[in-house]
Amino acid sequence: MSNKKVIYLTGYQWLWVLYIAVAAYTCVFKYSRGIDNNYKIFRASYFHARQEKDMYASYPQEYGDLYYYGPVFPLVIAPSALLPHAWGFLLWEVANAVALLLAINLLPFTTRQKSQLLLLCAIEYANSVFYMQFNPAITAMILLSFTLVERGKDQWATLFIVLGFMIKLYPIIGLTFFLFSRNKGKFVLWTAIWSIVLFVAPLILYSPGYMINSYHQWLVAVHSKVGLNAYFDSPQDICVMGVVRRLTHNINIPNGPFLVAGALLFLTPLLRFSQYKSFKFRAQILASALILVVIFSTGAEHPTYIIAVTGVFIWMLIQDKPYSTTNIILLVLVLVITGLGLTDAVPKFIREPYIAKYSMKAWPVIVIWVKIVYELLFNNFVAEKSKIDQQYERLKNKDWLVSIS
């Protein structure tokens, strides 16, 4: 008789193992080949800040490209930067994976739905972690801000909104969830508190003068980057404006009209106050928000789409029939064109002259976002009494915020 104990994991737990394993493998693969440039940029920001060097200047002897994150980011990267390079790199990759996993785990979904969400997002997650990006954590911040507002934990929801905004701007979309808050005064108060706290937090590392100058340099760098993104061979600009520029072969098409149109389409459904009582409506606003910040950003690139694709599949999974014929077609387009289109899984003679050239990675996501907005504008979510609303009523009294399935 063997006394060996067998470790049994559920399918959902194995997905956690998969995500963390992908992060660890990427670290080993990149580090062993010396192709960890993005992580070098992030890590160097801490040391540049400590030495009060210009974080936004070019340092070709240290890394390629430039640093574009906010002055508070060196505090976030500090635990990783203080470790030996290889171990810090591993911590960075795994921490991004765990952040996304925890955020998805805390959504008010069933284990089956969360498992499906992780499976469907796996390709885009791998794309992002392969480029050593912070985007999984940015996705997590937006998800957590929504979830915590749902639970009345506005003080923590606003922390993730403000922190994310002061790192990479995108999570500012979480302010939308103020409309769903049951204690709006608390939401406003804590937004103000965290804004002050996080604005001055860099003083832990450097002087007030350097801090103020760094915020100015950050704004200048972000503004200049918008212009740098918009050219035909750019790996970025994978957005609505980039698609139009590339299809028309007109690099001078301005961003402004598209940004205004996108904002109006996103905000108009929020005037339907009577629909707020439907969880499906609120979750679909979350999905729309996750997609919006990517498809209307000239900084959107291949690894940024973990944010948008998470929104796509949240929308799909909250439908009464997630795998209808139409949805399956859309799912395949997202997985193949958006997920795999810019990877080696697609032959180069298709990838470069078509998918990359015309920003086709964005196409399926844009189509789905338009569908989402249309539904938000015209569907009666309250009268519909969808399955996800009924499920939410069963779950909301359970402590799904802390329960690990």
Find the distance separating the first CA and the last CA of the chain, reported in whole Å: 32
Residue with token string 């193949």 = 336
Instruction: Using alpha carbons, list the distances in angstroms from residue 158 to 70, 108, 178, 189.
Output: 17, 19, 9, 9
Instruction: Using alpha carbons, list the distances in angstroms from residue 229 to 97, 163, 179, 238.
Output: 27, 25, 33, 9
Residues 128 and 135 sit within 8 Å (Cβ to Cβ) = yes
Residue 386 tokens, joined: 């969808």
Q: Is there a domain that residue 384 lies in?
A: yes
Domain count, the chain: 1
Q: In terms of residue numbers, what domain contains 303? A: 11-395
Q: Is there a domain that residue 251 lies in?
A: yes
The residues, ordered by sequence, that sit 6+ positions from 183 with a Cβ below 8 Å of its Cβ are 152, 154
Q: Is there a domain that residue 357 lies in?
A: yes
Instruction: Using alpha carbons, list the distances in angstroms from residue 63 to 10, 27, 59.
Output: 42, 17, 6
What is the spatial distance between Cα 71 and Cα 78, in angstroms, rounded to a whole number? 12
Q: Is there a domain that residue 29 lies in?
A: yes
What is the spatial distance between Cα 96 and Cα 140, in angstroms, rounded to a whole number? 9
What is the spatial distance between Cα 23 and Cα 91, in angstroms, rounded to a whole number? 9
Q: Reply yes or no on whether the pLDDT at 3 is more than 60.
A: no
Instruction: Give the mean pLDDT of the chain.
Output: 92
Q: Is there a domain that residue 377 lies in?
A: yes
Instruction: Give the pLDDT band (50/70/90) at residue 404.
Output: very low
Average pLDDT of 35-49?
A: 94
Instruction: Give the pLDDT band (50/70/90) at residue 225.
Output: confident
Q: Given this model, what pLDDT does residue 65 score?
A: 87
Q: Is there a domain that residue 402 lies in?
A: no
Q: 272-294 pLDDT, tens per residue?
A: 999 999 999 999 999 999 999 99
Give backbone dihedrals phi and psi of 188, rounded to 5 degrees, phi first.
-65, -45
Q: Hey, what amino acid is at 129? A: V
Q: Is there a domain that residue 1 lies in?
A: no
pLDDT: which is higher, 236 or 234: 236
Ordered DSSP codes for 157-186: HHHHHHHHHHHHSGGGGGGGGGGG-S-HHH
Q: Given this model, what pLDDT does residue 235 score?
A: 79
Residue 153 tokens, joined: 């934990």
Instruction: Give the pLDDT band (50/70/90) at residue 394.
Output: confident
Q: Given this model, what pLDDT does residue 395 score?
A: 78
pLDDT: which is higher, 215 or 225: 215
Q: Reply yes or no on whether the pLDDT at 315 is more than 90.
A: yes
Q: Is there a domain that residue 51 lies in?
A: yes
